[in-house]
Chains A and B, each alone.
Chain A
Amino acid sequence: MTFYLLLLCRFSLGMVVGHGVRCLSQLAELPELHQMMRQTCRDYAQKELAPIAAQLDKDHRFPAKQVQELGAMGVMAVEVPESLGGAGMDYLAYCLAVEELSRGCASTGVIVSVNNSLYLGPILKFGTEEQKKQWITPFTTGEKVGCFALSEPGNGSDAGAASTLAQREGDEWVLNGTKAWITNCWDASATVVFATTDKSLKHKGISAFLVPMPHPGLSLGKKEDKLGIRASSTANIILEDCRIPLGNMLGERGMGFKIAMQTLDSGRLGIAAQALGIAQAALDCAADYAHKRTAFGAPIGKLQAIQFKLADMALATESARLLTWRAAMLRDAKKPFTKEAAMAKLAASEAATFVSHQAIQVLGGMGYVTDMPAERHYRDARITEIYEGTSEIQRLVIANNILKEYQQ
């Protein structure tokens, strides 16, 4: 008996120690499963996305075929359990997938990220079993994508000031208002919309709703003509007497703000991963050019000025990557990760803009023309410091957490 108790204790201790050791060693080297997954996404991105990324950007074209192929691979619903049609993998795997895909095409990266984190994420966490079957399963295959409607023309960072109204009329909710900057909306078949059910309660009066697209009372504004990530559609969603059944409320009444904030906590890791992919692609481009371009009688990679740039670019990217992995691992271990996620998103997005800026500098004139992808990385990078929480908001989140830690 004692022997078996001892065995049980050793086993439990082993699990605790093993778990901690596994987490640490994951930062040093990914587990085999994650390596295989990363390789498959990298292969796909390099063979199927990278060759068409420039044209997709030029045509502002949604990569429907590729999204379907990614759906078949399970990448459109990485964290969704297999019972609902997803891949049933963890968030670290998801971040790896988004980074590798974004390295090939940043627009495809954000399409995948929005579907996974911003659309499927909240439904997975807050939806009823019935809602999950209806709103998750059809969106795992790549046939349909979803979007997330929080921002409005009057408020982005100030999410609590939502002015889109939801009024109950009999057995329906009636939505009225305008949502702005909604990624994927022209290609989406459903959206998670945030509207206020009680303005007097301010942010505690916001609720979340599921609306199919197209739907009477829901119309789309013109596609924004963006600086970058042009293959993904961005537009306003206009709600005019948009009627949905009561069963379309996600979570409890008044829970909307909490749902939005928790969703964005995770979503910002997806964006961090996208930014890492852009940074890595820009670094790939610059390093390759440094080998090939000769000036002053040798490849420019021999010049210290270029070497210092490459070193700084690699450092920024790798640091942000470790922050992203750590935040994802904390989330997977169900530990608090808000501060780390904000740090990851901030670091990765600033790395993306820094690295892509320097990549153009390394390429010189060639960096300024569309013959090389450097200019596209530069344009794609910029949005990562803005959406899913501006860099300023990330700093507020980090500061708030630090001050809490040091509470007197």
Chain B
Amino acid sequence: MSARVLVGVKRVIDYAVKIRVKPDRTGVVTDGVKHSMNPFCEIAVEEAVKLKEKKLVKEVVAVSCGPQQVQETIRTALAMGADRGIHVEVSGKDYETLGPLQVSKILAALAKKEQADLIILGKQAIDDDCNQTGQMTAALLDWPQGTFASEVNIEADKLKVVREIDGGLETIKINLPAVVTADLRLNTPRYATLPNIMKAKKKKIANVKPADLGVDVSSRLEVLKVDEPPQRQAGVKVETVHDLVGKLKEAGRI
């Protein structure tokens, strides 16, 4: 199989960091805050590398959109086993307003340019929780999609995907080329080995601008304000179910 896999990796604030809203309420504080690869993107990279190890795909290309710092994220993907990286340079205001629509346009353009057979993304990013990029990318390319994947298998020229849905598990068979988004239980990402970290240094990261791909990164959305979630209030103890129903009615919940 001459398959080439494109894996999207996003640099996000580390999951363990306590998020603080900026005083001007335009966003969250990112300066000096620890960032790492989006956990679902790690799972996506791991899946792509596993497919390569099983010799079902030939090349894994890691892609990230953002400023200079995203190169660290691409290098982490390289250290996990991706073959090369593509850094799509987006910085300043454009980066602040970068969202799924623009990223999916970029990924679609890259998929055509790189002649990719498969795109694997994390199901969502832990900062904006959009859960849109995979679906939008598939739509732009008119490719089938297997989202919330907890199992992926290549059978002949088709992709068998087990999806985690509200009702349980759904198994679908889709044609390649396709877009897959990784869910939590798809795999357990590996720790980068020291030899792979060394090798990652030699792997190439190409620089590309959105304009080169014919993509306009201006946002269709405007963020009006960002607030912290309301402080968690203490609960109320009730004696009977009757009281509970009463309280819920009072609060306008039912």
Contact = CB atoms under 8 A, between A and B. Distances in A.
Interface of A: 32-33, 36-37, 40, 43-44, 69, 72-75, 78, 82, 87-89, 93, 97
Interface string B65-95: 0000000100110010000000000000000
Given A33-B201, A74-B194, A78-B194, 11 more contacts: A37-B197, A40-B191, A40-B192, A40-B197, A44-B191, A72-B193, A73-B192, A82-B195, A87-B193, A87-B195, A88-B198
A74 B79 CA distance: 13
Nearest to A44: B191
A217 B76 CA distance: 49
A93 B79 CA distance: 16
A36 B192 contact: yes
A385 B57 CA distance: 53
A36 B197 contact: yes
Contacts of B195: 74, 82, 87-88
Nearest to A82: B195
Nearest to A35: B72
Contacts of B108: none
A89 B194 contact: yes
B200 interface: yes
Interface in B20-73: 72
Nearest to B36: A39
Contacts of B200: 36
Closest 9 CB pairs of A and B: A74-B194, A87-B194, A73-B193, A40-B192, A36-B197, A74-B193, A74-B195, A44-B191, A87-B195
Interface in B146-192: 191-192
Nearest to A73: B193
B77 to A, nearest CB: 11
Interface residues of B, number: 13
29 contacts: A32-B201, A33-B197, A36-B75, A36-B76, A36-B79, A36-B197, A36-B200, A40-B79, A40-B192, A40-B194, A40-B197, A43-B191, A44-B191, A72-B193, A73-B191, A73-B192, A73-B194, A75-B194, A78-B194, A82-B195, A87-B193, A87-B195, A87-B198, A88-B195, A88-B198, A89-B194, A89-B198, A93-B194, A97-B194
B180 to A, nearest CB: 25
In this complex, which of B79, B191, B195 has the most chain A Cβ atoms within 10 angstroms of its Cβ?
A: B191
A87 B75 CA distance: 18
Contacts of B76: 36
- Best-surrounded residue of B72, B75, B194, B200 (most CB of chain A within 10 A): B194
A217 to B, nearest CB: 37
A146 B75 CA distance: 33
Contacts of A37: 194, 197
A92 to B, nearest CB: 13
A91 to B, nearest CB: 13
Contacts of A93: 194
Contacts of B198: 33, 87-89
A236 B238 CA distance: 66
Nearest to B200: A36
A44 to B, nearest CB: 5
Contacts of A33: 197-198, 201
Nearest to A34: B197
A87 B79 CA distance: 13
Contacts of A69: 191
B187 to A, nearest CB: 15
B191 to A, nearest CB: 5
Contacts of A44: 191
B240 to A, nearest CB: 37
Nearest to A69: B191
